[in-house]
């Protein structure tokens, strides 16, 4: 696929293409629909954001060890999603972000959603889920120090990530059901999803508290053995 030889030129194109496409897509959608078709705009914009975000990641900067560890976490997370309603996926994404860094965290979140959706059904909502879960992993990496040290920080992050993911996906629910994004409709769907949000947040916390100590130990052992 490498047609352009110059590395800088390739990087510029890689970053500029999604930016220009996003602008064009938003303008087209606004013109063709009097600005009411939020669902399409949402999907296109998130898809391009995702491409922009991912194209910035360089495997040299992340390092192959962390990259493969990320892949290991994705596999474990996807395997865990087969348990209905209670999803250790988020907990494992958070743990991977905590121990392998913010960039790998985003990658793990996005990849875990993409691959588990191969089994559970991909759709227009996939890019949104990828961005949402990716951000959860990303910020787990950003706040890795307090998260590793204090249990209470872990609990708060588990609850917040559950609420964030649920509210983030409600944007899509509102858009697809009503074709517009009014604040009142959005609040209604957030309220309707409240029980699921609660279950989700609580299960996040339970899984984090259950899984964090053993993974902390296991990764500590590997760090000692291989000098990570």
Partner 1 sequence: MIWFKSCNPYITLLYFLSVTALSAVYNNPLYTAVTLASALCMFIMCRGRGKTAFGFFMIFLLTFIVNPIISKKGATPLIFIGSDPITLEALIYGLNSASLIAAVLFLFYCFTDITDSEKLMYMLSPFSASFALTVSAVLRFFPLYVRQAEQISEQQTAAGVRGGGSIPERVRYGGRIFSALSTWALENGIVTADSMECRGYGTGRRSFYSAYGFKKSDGVFLLTEILLIAGAVIPSFFTSCTYEYYPGLRFPEVNALFITSASCYALLVFLPLIFEITDKIKWKFLLSKI
Binding site for partner 1 (CB under 8 A): 1-2, 7, 14, 28-29, 31-34, 37, 39-40, 43-44, 51, 54-55, 57-60, 62, 64-65, 67-72, 74-76, 78-79, 107-108, 110-111, 114-115, 118, 121-124, 176-179, 188, 214-215, 218-219, 222, 225-226, 228
Q: How many CB atoms lie within 10 A of CB 222?
A: 14
Nearest distance, CB of residue 143 and partner 1, angstroms: 22
- Name which of 55 and 168 has its Cβ closer to partner 1: 55
Nearest distance, CB of residue 85 and partner 1, angstroms: 15
Nearest distance, CB of residue 142 and partner 1, angstroms: 19
- In contact, 128 and 113? CB cutoff 8 Å: no
Determine whether 124 is exposed, middle or buried from the number of CB atoms within 10 Å of its CB (0-12, 13-18, 19+): middle
- Name which of 78 and 159 has its Cβ closer to partner 1: 78
Q: From CA 191, how far away is CA 118, in angstroms rounded?
A: 29
Nearest distance, CB of residue 156 and partner 1, angstroms: 25
- Name which of 23 and 72 has its Cβ closer to partner 1: 72
Q: From CA 4, how far away is CA 94, in angstroms rounded?
A: 37
Q: From CA 22, how far away is CA 125, in angstroms rounded?
A: 17
83 Rama class: left (phi>0) / alpha (psi -120 to 50) / beta: beta
Q: From CA 142, how far away is CA 130, in angstroms rounded?
A: 18
- Name which of 82 and 145 has its Cβ closer to partner 1: 82
Nearest distance, CB of residue 115 and partner 1, angstroms: 6
Nearest distance, CB of residue 228 and partner 1, angstroms: 7
- Name which of 150 and 218 has its Cβ closer to partner 1: 218
C-alpha distances in angstroms, 171 versus 86, 92, 187, 201? 22, 24, 10, 18
- Name which of 19 and 79 has its Cβ closer to partner 1: 79
């Amino acid at each position: 696929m490498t047609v352009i030889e110059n590395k800088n030129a390739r990087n510029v194109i890689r970053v500029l293409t999604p930016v220009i496409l996003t602008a064009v897509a938003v303008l087209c959608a606004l013109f063709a629909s009097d600005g009411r078709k939020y669902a399409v705009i949402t999907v296109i914009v998130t898809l391009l954001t995702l491409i922009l975000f991912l194209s910035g990641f360089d495997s040299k900067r992340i390092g192959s060890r962390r990259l493969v560890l990320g892949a290991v976490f994705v596999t474990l997370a996807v395997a865990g999603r087969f348990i209905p309603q209670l999803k250790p996926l988020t907990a494992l994404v958070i743990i991977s972000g905590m121990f392998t860094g913010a960039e790998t965290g985003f990658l793990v979140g996005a990849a875990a959603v993409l691959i588990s959706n191969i089994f559970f059904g991909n759709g227009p909502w996939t890019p949104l889920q990828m961005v949402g879960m990716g951000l959860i992993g990303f910020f787990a990496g950003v706040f890795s120090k307090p998260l590793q040290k204090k249990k209470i920080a872990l609990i708060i992050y588990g609850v917040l990530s559950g609420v964030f993911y649920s509210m983030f996906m409600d944007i899509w629910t509102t858009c697809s059901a009503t074709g517009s994004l009014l604040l009142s409709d959005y609040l209604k769907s957030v309220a309707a999803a409240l029980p699921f949000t609660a279950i989700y947040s609580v299960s996040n916390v339970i899984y984090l508290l259950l899984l964090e100590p053993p993974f902390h130990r296991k990764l500590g052992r590997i760090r000692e053995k291989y000098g990570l």
